[in-house]
Amino acid sequence: MARRGIPGHRHLGVSITDSLHQALEERRRRTGETLDHIVQDALAQALGVDHHTLFQVSTANALVQGVYQGCVTVGTLKTHGDFGLGTYDGLDGEGLMLDGHVYQALGDGSVVEPADMATAPFWVTTRFRPDRTAVLPTVDGWEDLCARIDAHRSSANLFAAIRIDGRFEEVSYRVACKAAPGTDLVTATSHQAEFAVRGFQGTLLGFWSPAYARTFNIPGYHLHALSDDRRRGGHVLGVRATDLRIQVMDVDELAMALPETPQFLAADLTGDPTAALRKAEGASGAAD
């Protein structure tokens, strides 16, 4: 459980009971977390210390290659955070996690709460404790939204978790439809369902990732929308609104669990997925 030579970290030598050690080992095997992360997270919660960790399952590059097989359960994801997004086995819809609840936006436009045994092939989650809160007076489109959030991020090298609440004049979003095994992400999202909803009352939630993260995460902004009545939601493509409340949390630690599925172990993840991610994450027909 040592962290040696890392600025801002100290080595802590402690004795624990056999039962606690067994519980630590069982959680490590079940979730893929390091012992460092488990202990730090538990201490931070017990002592009331802000400790902003991003927990990620698999990589965006694996999704680009069509590795959509579920590898972690919704129940396990809930132990790592209360806020986040991802997708489900077979790319079956969009995943949303808000206030500790997990939702699945489906291709027909509906939203359900999946069972804890449902599985996800890719997910990013954290315990959302905002560092800053502000008001966005007006937002006119996706690019304008990104520019306005930029003003509330603290660094181009830290990940950021973002929550935006309010009433939106319009939100456009898409929902990925279930894909056949091995279908690459660009092909799978070429027939995605798209929606434009006026008078959308709800939340935009997600993350900003630095450019250096492009081989394992989605660089830039990745936001999903969820209505207050929990009946509509998906991957955000565009937005127009006034007087939105934004909350931003800086993330100072990243923990990643990699699948051990045959598909992941055999995938070629050496390429740069940036162009494919840009096309897949935008509206249908978007250019590279």
Reported as a pLDDT band with limits 50, 70 and 90, residue 44 is low
Task: Select the more confidently predicted residue: 238 or 288.
Answer: 238
For residues 209 and 217, is the Cβ–Cβ distance under 8 A? yes
Phi-psi region of 136 (alpha: psi -120 to 50; beta: other; left: phi over 0): beta
Reported as a pLDDT band with limits 50, 70 and 90, residue 50 is low
**pLDDT value of position 143:** 96
**pLDDT value of position 30:** 66
Q: Domain 18-126 is in which class?
A: alpha beta
**Total-model pTM:** 0.82
CATH for 132-251 is 3.30.1330.80
- Angle 28-31-32 (CA atoms, 0-180°, nearest 5)? 65
Identify the helix (H) or strand (E) that includes residue 208: strand 193-209
Give how far Cα 140 sits from Cα of 136, 162, 170, 203, Å.
Answer: 11, 18, 10, 16
Locate CATH 3.30.1330.80 in the chain.
Answer: 18-126, 132-251
Task: Select the more confidently predicted residue: 163 or 278.
Answer: 163
Reported as a pLDDT band with limits 50, 70 and 90, residue 51 is low
Question: Both tokens of residue 240?
Answer: 């127009």
> What percentage of the chain carries pLDDT values higher than 70?
88
Q: For 106-140, how does the pLDDT look when each residue is reduced to its tens digit (9 = 90+)?
A: 999 899 999 999 999 999 999 999 999 999 999 99
25-34, 132-141, 157-166, 266-275: least confidently modelled range = 25-34
